[in-house]
Structure 1
């Protein structure tokens, strides 16, 4: 598990040192740095996946497009480089990325712990032949990233070879393909719903019913095409329908469920706005579901604007699905000289938040105070 990330002169951050937990929730105002933190991890993953011997950081690829060097360097304090460090239970690795501002990739130097000399020969961005941490390599390489802009309903979904496509894709575009290819994969008992067989296909369907009662799914190969169709029903009494004819939220939740249930232990999963197109009760269920997954062995970092997702996590802590020490809450706000850019409320064993910074999921209270005549 990655226990801390550090950034210097990356995008909006002059210096950030952020602890991570099994489940880390990023909240805050728009354009305050939440997505930038996720992008710092994704750009490492992208470089490893597209060129394992790369000595340059790939800013634009099949997963993420960050533009040029000037787009990723802090506009006020940076010049032509930024630093990134990751800490796990055993080691800290630091990278320095350097490049001319118009370039679309950056030179990489790695500084392993207790060795300040940069390494020129890199394998998966870590020193080659220097006993690099297999956990760091595997965590970055197998990372799953799901953006807020997930694909909507489709009449059919292309099938990809499992050797080239190993995650659901940033827009969830490979979720149905993964579900079909890995249909019989056994699921960890901790994430199994007892009423369904412990295989990926049946457990995905069972969890979809958790969010959408009566939901059923079937994935059917299309003859003479490398593609499958997805059928969804919303009741046991109805036939399967095309995704376009059912609620939009079903196809937004499906990639998250497939990603979580198909993940291996200690896999890192990044999710933007898991609450998209879910009603409030479904958003709370999503928080509980992600908390259960984190308690079962995955590491999850999620960005959310939903107090219902937060409350679902708090309820999971109260029910001891995971401990309060397994949850990290971070509230981001625009950088100013007067305020810390990130503050981190804490949970207790009952799921209570120790303090609520201004703007931290407090809009409901502000609105109710307004209607009660207590505020503007």
Structure 2
């Protein structure tokens, strides 16, 4: 298994990912899915290896790992910011997704703009109007998450590049280059496109969806990701934003597009064993526990401000 290259991996050498107190030079990955458990066992060589030899693997590849094309999408935290042009790929058009850094977002949107978005993922405001294609759904979701906008994606003939342009609401609005729209659009758009293209059995992994979004946008994006998960896809989110977490809670309690039993929050504290704390949701969007250090900084800061204010009197 390669440690560098695929999906933007840059893990270094084999010993870089082995726990310093590991008793054996091996790494085990277990996948529990669909009531079945699959186990991969990798050796960690003594030399400066850039890959891990596979000692044991399941006979049948778990369904969770079998997705290809738009069925599996991983978006790195270091997504591309505003670009006048974006890349294109020679991949089979039916399998073209947004890329690890969102580099193929314009090409994917241009190729799939007339694709029908699954009913469970359509914006509630568009249902009665029969607006079901990818481009219009992307515009509607982006307008809610960030601000009202129209989007044009092109893959012009004769050049190996793709383009995205924006327009403000209004018939006479001029096209706007991404650099004049701020980073929020460029960072959030790949997430929206990937989510709307995701099939019911797909896997979407997003790092730091909150990047370059104001708090309201972070919450709305959390609600959107909750809807994608509620549609049948598996969504894995790594976040430092309480607003994203709260948006997912609203997807359960208010939007009711996601069952509470389908959500688990893994909190990685500073414990020595590195084991995460699993936090579940109640039917009203509450959290079953609130460990110390879990998004409690605002309460701590407000408490210190209140005490400081009292000292001034």
8 Å CA contact retained: 1:60, 1:67: yes
Of 56, 73, 86 in structure 2, the residue corresponding to residue 144 of structure 1 is 73
Instruction: Give the whole-Å Cα distance in 2 for the aligned partners of 1:369 and 1:318.
Output: 28
Larger % of helix: which? 2
Deviation at 1:285, TM superposition (A): 0.3
Count of aligned pairs between the two proteins:
300
2:211 corresponding residue in structure 1:
276
Q: TM-score, normalised by structure 1?
A: 0.75
8 Å CA contact retained: 1:212, 1:234: no
1:88 corresponding residue in structure 2:
33
Cα-to-partner distance string for 1:237-273 (whole Å, 9 max, x where unaligned): 5211110011210111100001101111111111111
With a CA cutoff of 8 Å and minimum separation of 6, indicate the structure with the bigger relative contact order. 1
Unaligned runs of 5+ in 2: none
8 Å CA contact retained: 1:248, 1:277: yes
Change (3 A) 1:279 1:362: same
Of 77, 101, 106 in structure 2, the residue corresponding to residue 171 of structure 1 is 101
1:294 corresponding residue in structure 2:
229
Change (3 A) 1:342 1:140: farther
Cα-to-partner distance string for 1:11-46 (whole Å, 9 max, x where unaligned): xxxxxxxxxxxxxxxxxxxxxxxxxxxxxxxxxxxx
Change (3 A) 1:363 1:370: same
1:260 corresponding residue in structure 2:
195
1:98 corresponding residue in structure 2:
43
Change (3 A) 1:322 1:260: same
Change (3 A) 1:227 1:266: same
More displaced 10-residue stretch of structure 1: 285-294 or 314-323: 314-323
1:62 corresponding residue in structure 2:
6
Cα-to-partner distance string for 1:317-362 (whole Å, 9 max, x where unaligned): 112221211110111023326xx73112221101111221111010
Of 119, 122, 125 in structure 2, the residue corresponding to residue 192 of structure 1 is 122
Structure 1 residue matching 2:295: 3-state secondary structure: coil
Deviation at 1:133, TM superposition (A): 5.0
Instruction: Give the whole-Å Cα distance in 2 for the aligned partners of 1:181 and 1:83.
Output: 39
8 Å CA contact retained: 1:85, 1:94: yes
Unaligned runs of 5+ in 1: 1-56, 113-126
Of 325, 332, 348 in structure 1, the residue corresponding to residue 261 of structure 2 is 325
Structure 1 residue matching 2:199: 3-state secondary structure: coil
Query: Alignment RMSD, CA only?
Result: 2.2
Q: TM-score, normalised by structure 2?
A: 0.89
Change (3 A) 1:167 1:219: closer
Change (3 A) 1:251 1:82: same
Of 147, 150, 163 in structure 2, the residue corresponding to residue 213 of structure 1 is 147
